[in-house]
Structure 1
Amino acid sequence: MPQTLYPRGTVKKIVKAHSNRGLSKDVDILIFLNYALFMQDLIKEASIASKQSGERGISARSVRKVREGCLRKYKG
C-alpha cells in the first residue's frame, strides 16, 4: 500500500471533533488541497512583499505582512 502524504484518519477525526457534523468520504483530500493552495498563495505573496522591501529572500516579516490577506481569501 502506498504511503499517503498525511494521516487521513487523523485529519478526519480532528475535523469531525471541531465541526460536530458528518463528513463526506473524501473531505480530508479537499482540506489538504485547500491547505496546499493556501500555502502556495502565502509563499507567492510573501515573495512579492519581500522583493518590494528589498529583501533577498522570504523572511518571517514578509510572511507576517501578507498573512492576514491570504487568510481572508481562504476563510470559509
Structure 2
Amino acid sequence: MAGSQKPYPRTTVKKIVKAHSNKSLSKNVDILIYLDYILFMQHLMREASISAKQAGEKNISARSIHKVTEDALRKFKG
C-alpha cells in the first residue's frame, strides 16, 4: 500500500467553503464537510442500487441515481 495519501486537499476545501460562506471556519471544519459528503454518497448509491434492483436492472444507471437524488438531497439538507 502506498504511503500516507490524503483523501482530499484540505486547504482547497477550506478556501471553497470560505469563499461561499464569507465566514470564518473552525480548524477541522473541512473534515466534517468531507465526512458528510462521504455519508451522502453512500446513501445515494445505496438508494440508487435499491431503485435499480426494483426496476430489474443489473447495474446502477444514471436513471437510477436521478430517481433518488432529490430524496437524498432532502435528507441531507442542513
Tell me the TM-score normalized by structure 2: 0.93
Q: 4+ runs of 1 displaced by more than 2 Å?
A: none
Question: Could you list the runs of 5+ residues in structure 1 that have no partner in the other structure?
Answer: none
1:23-49 CA distances to partner (integer Å, 9 max, x unpaired)?
A: 000000000000000000000000000
Map 1:20-59 → 2, pairs under 5 A: 20-59=22-61
Structure 2 gaps, min length 5: none
For 2:57 and 2:5, locate their aligned partners in 1 and report how far apart those are by CA, in whole Å: 38
What RMSD over aligned residues (CA atoms) do the two structures have, in Å?
1.1
- Give the AA of the match of 1:65: K
